[in-house]
């Protein structure tokens, strides 16, 4: 089992305006994403993965899209995405912090 604290994890600069930190066990992963380039006029491209995902919006506002449905999320809102369902976001505020959890692990993030 992997024992770590998210505060100990280094930031990964995914893009100039998006960072990620992760923590995980052998079967569960959490990531904190910080965005600083909103609001966006259009969503990111859709993506999907076999992992079940739960999203918690800690700060800011987003439109969250799962296939052809859209959901307006604010601080404290959560949404679940079953594996293999296309989904994406559009930032509504200048900064956003999302907290994602997945099972099983997203090996590509390790």
Per-residue pLDDT at 25 exceeds 90: no
In a domain, 95, yes or no: yes
Q: Is residue 68 part of a domain?
A: yes
Residue 10 belongs to domain with CATH number: 2.60.120.10
Round to whole Å and give the CA distance between 64 and 66: 7
Confidence of residue 1 (pLDDT cuts 50, 70, 90): very low
Partners of residue 57 on adjacent β-strands: 98
Question: Is residue 78 domain-resident?
Answer: yes
Nearest to 93 by CA among 66, 69, 75, 71: 75
Counted domains in the chain: 1
The reply to whether 1 falls in a domain is no
Residue 90 in any domain: the answer is: yes
- The range of the structural domain enclosing residue 19 comes to 6-109
**For residue 41, is it within any domain?**
yes
pLDDT in tens, 26-43: 899 999 999 999 999 999
pLDDT tens, position by position, 53-97? 999 999 999 999 999 999 999 999 999 999 999 999 999 999 999
Q: What is the DSSP letter of 37?
A: S
Angle, vertex CA 79, rays to CA 75 and CA 83, nearest 5: 145
């Amino acid at each position: 089992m992997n024992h770590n604290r998210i505060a100990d994890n280094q930031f990964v600069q995914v893009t100039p305006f998006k960072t990620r930190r992760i923590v995980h066990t052998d079967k569960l992963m959490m990531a904190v994403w910080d965005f600083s380039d909103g609001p966006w006029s259009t969503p990111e491209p859709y993506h999907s993965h076999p992992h079940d995902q739960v999203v918690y919006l800690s700060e800011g506002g987003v439109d969250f899209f799962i296939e052809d449905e859209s959901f307006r999320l604010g601080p404290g809102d959560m949404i679940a995405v079953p594996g293999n369902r296309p989904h994406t976001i559009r930032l509504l505020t200048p900064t956003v912090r999302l907290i994602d959890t997945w099972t099983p692990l997203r090996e590509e993030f390790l």
